[in-house]
Amino acid sequence: MSANDRSRLKFPLKLDRVAGTTATPQRTVLRPQRDVAAAHADARRRDPPSGLGLDSADVRRRMAQRLAEGGILEPRVLAAFAAVPRHLFVDAALATQAYEDTSLPIGHGQTISKPSVVGRMIELLFGGANARRLGNLGAVLEVGTGCGYQAALLAEVSQRVISVERLKPLHDKARELLAPMRSTRLRLVYGDGMLGHLPGAPYDSIIAAAGGSALPQAWLEQLAVGGRLVSPVEQSSGGQALVVVDRREEGYDRRVHEAVRFVPLKSGLSR
C-alpha cells in the first residue's frame, strides 16, 4: 500500500470473539465452483505482482466512475470505493482483476462480491430514515465479513461497524487484512451472524451477504426504529432478490428489489 493509502485508511481495529453457534452469510458465488477452486489454487502458486500501478488513486477513481456510469449515484458510496484499495483484499495472482466488476475467490470456497452489487446494497442503505437524518449509515451490522473489503467500505460511510463472520479462517484473514487500516469504528466478531450481535444493537443499518428463505427475527429486532436492512432473500417464485426492510414506530415496511445470486444463509460456527 502506498503512503497515501496508509494515511487515508488508518482506522484502529477492535476485535471481539463470541462463543456459540453461528449462521453468517457467505459470499456471492457468480461462477462455477470448479473455476473458483482453480483460480484460488493458481493464486497460491504465483508471486505477488509488481509494477502494476494498483496503488494508484486513479485506478480506484476509474472504478468508481464505472460504477457511477452503471447506476450507482450516491456520492458517499462512490467516494468509499475510490478510497479503499480492493486489490489488497484479493489473492496476489488475481490482483490485476481487482478493479473489474467481477467476483473473485478469497479462499475457503468464498468470493469477494462484485463491486456493483456491493455498491448497490450500500446505496440502498442510504435510503433509510436514520441514514438520511445522520448523513451516514450510523451504527451498522454486517453479517458475513468475508475478506473484510465491504467492512472497510462501510467504515468509510458509518459511525461504527460490527461485522460478524462464522468461518474462523475468514475472520482471521479479515482481521489480518484490516489491522493496518486501524479504526475505532470497526469491530470484527467471530460469532453467530444469524443472531446478529445484541451487545451493539440497535443498528441504523444492517447488511447481509447471503440469503435464506426468511430474514432472521434477531435482525429485525436489532434494527433501530428508522433503520434499514438490506439482504438477499429467497423468493417463492424461485431465485433470490434484494429485500429492503424499514422499521417504523408502527412496524416494518418491506420491499422487494432486483434479482441477485448469493450463496445460502448458513448456521453454525466453522473452524
Q: What is the pLDDT of residues 130-172, one digit of tens each?
A: 999 999 999 999 999 999 999 999 999 999 999 999 999 999 9
Residue range 207-228: mean pLDDT, rounded = 95
Distance, CA of 165 to CA of 180 (rounded, Å) = 19
Please say if the pLDDT value at position 110 is more than 80. Answer: yes
Q: Which of 113, 183, 205, 231 is catalytic?
A: 113
Q: How confident is the model at residue 263 (pLDDT cuts 50, 70, 90)?
A: confident
Sorted by where each starts, the structural domains of the chain and their CATH numbers stand as 12-29+108-260 (3.40.50.150)
68-94 pLDDT, tens digit per residue, is 999 999 999 999 999 999 999 998 899
CB 163 within 8 A of CB 170: no
Q: Above pLDDT 90, what percent of the chain?
A: 67
Biggest CA-to-CA distance, the chain: 57
Q: Above pLDDT 70, what percent of the chain?
A: 81
E-assigned strand segments in 54-202: 104-107, 110-112, 139-143, 160-165, 182-190
CB 64 within 8 A of CB 81: yes
Catalytic site residue 183?
no
Distance, CA of 111 to CA of 167 (rounded, Å) = 13
Angle in degrees, CA 268, 213, 265, rounded to 5? 30
- pLDDT value for 52: 55
Mean pLDDT of the chain: 85
